[in-house]
Structure formats: C-alpha cells, structure tokens
C-alpha cells in the first residue's frame, strides 16, 4: 500500500509485510501468521471481511469460459491453486491468500507450464505470462518461475498432492495441437474437480488428510507457542508473584528441553 492516497495525502494506515521469515525457528507458520493475524486486522480495517481470493485473482485464473488458465480449490484450512499444464506439486496457501503469495504462485506455475510445453517453439506458441503482478516483475521466462519457486519454498509451505496431467478445460492441449505438438490429456479426478472454483468452502467438501509429519510438526509448534507465552509473561513480574514466576519459568524450561530433545531425535532419524 502506498504511503499517499490518490489525492496526495498521507494514509492513516500503511500495511507492509516482508515475504520472508526473519526467524525460521518461529513457532508460527507463515500461513498461521496470515490467517490468525493479518486477516483479522484487515477485517477490522475494511467494511467487510476480505474474500479468500480477491476478484482480481479470480479473473486472472478464470477470465471467461473461453480463456481460463487455472482453478482454485478451497479446503477447510488452506487454499490450493492449480494452473493448467503445470507439473509441479502446488503449495498449500493460507485460507486467505495475499497478493504477494498469489503472484509468486502464478509465476511459478504458469511459468513452468510455459517453459515445459512451449519453450523453443517460437514466440507465437508461448503463453502470455504477465510481466508484472503485485510488487513482482517477471523478466526471464526460463529462470523466473524457478526464482518464484525458491521464494515460496523459503516460507516453509507444505505441498499438496501432484496431479498431472492437469488440463480440465483443454487449454494447454488445444494450444499444443495448434502448434503441431502432441495433445495433453487431462487426468480426471471427478470427486475433487466438482469443487473447483467454488465461492467458499462448505462442510463435507474438501478436507485434505494431514500427514503424520505435519501432525508432529504441529504438536511441536504448539509446545513452542506455550513456551513462548510462558517466557513472555516473565518480563515484568509483579510484587509477590516471584514464586509463580519461578514455577512458570521451570515449566517453560522443561517444555523447551522436551522440544529440543524431540527435534534432535527427529534429526537423527532423518
């Protein structure tokens, strides 16, 4: 958000957030930060809660029936975007997707589809990938999508399952045939496809199974959050609470030791 409004007056609130984590050991994931902090704050600032995907994002993916490049899937606790022709596993995004993440997701997947299917086939055959989206510029076709992939990977996001070939509207296949390439036959998964591009998540629809590794990491983060809250409460102890502070500190230290032990054991197993 720019510091000045359209009339040149300073804005009362300027929202800015880095794409990257400055503390990789933080107990809160990037998705939790968006869903538990940024989204409630934006809901208070706006007249109504923002949608999970903005209208602009939806138009980029589904401009019209004649021209659509991808689909979105609203799961209970995360969002998945699948671009036609991309053969990379999509990242699980927060429930409420900020433009920064959407832009990186777009460049990563659409750029991969372009290079994978039409690289070296001439400019006419190449997909029209936007050269700017949000605050990001896409200057190099062969390297841009890889850089976007690296930036998303640095956030520690989990990936959804790989679904390939993915081209339900034959967007990639028809273009390949037009330029005398082999067709690209979509792999049908009807029980998931029927929930593509829904306006909101509904109970009993998409609920992706959580892996054992994800459960373990979530449990460790819960302990770390508890320790973080316990330690933060020791900053300014009130008179007469020294005993309780010592007890809390002891509890925090014990939990911290447990976390370190479990983390070390996990590293040895790997």
**pTM for the full predicted model:** 0.69
| Position 265 confidence tier, pLDDT thresholds 50, 70, 90 | low
Contact 246, 234 (CB under 8 A): no
Q: Give pLDDT tens digits for 87-140.
A: 999 999 998 998 989 999 999 999 999 999 998 887 788 888 888 887 888 887
- Residue that is written with structure tokens 């890889």 in the block: 146
Which among 147, 189, 194, 128 is positioned nearest to 164, based on CA atoms? 189
Helix (H) or strand (E) segment spanning residue 33: helix 30-33
Q: Please state, in angstroms and as integers, the Cα–Cα distance from residue 183 to each residue in 34, 61, 216, 235, following that order.
A: 40, 22, 42, 64
């Amino acid at each position: 958000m720019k510091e000045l409004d359209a009339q040149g007056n300073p804005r009362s609130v300027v929202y800015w957030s880095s794409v990257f984590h400055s503390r990789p050991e933080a107990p809160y994931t990037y998705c939790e930060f968006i869903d538990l902090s940024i989204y409630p704050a934006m809901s208070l600032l706006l007249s109504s809660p923002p949608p999970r995907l903005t209208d602009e994002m939806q138009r980029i993916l589904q401009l019209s029936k004649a021209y659509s490049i991808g689909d979105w899937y609203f799961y209970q606790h995360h969002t998945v975007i699948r671009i036609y022709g991309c053969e990379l596993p999509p990242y699980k995004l927060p429930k409420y997707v900020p433009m920064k993440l959407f832009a990186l997701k777009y460049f990563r997947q659409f750029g991969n589809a372009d290079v994978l299917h039409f690289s070296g086939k001439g400019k006419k055959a190449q997909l029209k990938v936007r050269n700017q989206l949000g605050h990001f510029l896409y200057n190099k076709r062969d390297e841009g999508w890889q850089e976007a992939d690296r930036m998303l990977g640095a956030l520690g996001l989990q990936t959804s399952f790989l679904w390939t070939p993915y081209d339900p509207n034959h967007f990639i296949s028809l273009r390949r045939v037009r330029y005398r390439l082999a067709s690209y036959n979509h792999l049908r998964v009807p029980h998931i496809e029927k929930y593509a591009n829904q306006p909101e998540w509904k109970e009993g629809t998409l609920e992706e199974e959580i892996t054992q590794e994800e459960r373990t990491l979530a449990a460790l983060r819960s302990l770390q959050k508890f320790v973080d809250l316990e330690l933060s409460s020791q900053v300014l102890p009130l008179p007469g609470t020294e005993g309780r502070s010592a007890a809390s500190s002891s509890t925090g230290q014990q939990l911290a030791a447990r976390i370190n032990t479990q983390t070390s054991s996990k590293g040895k197993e790997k």
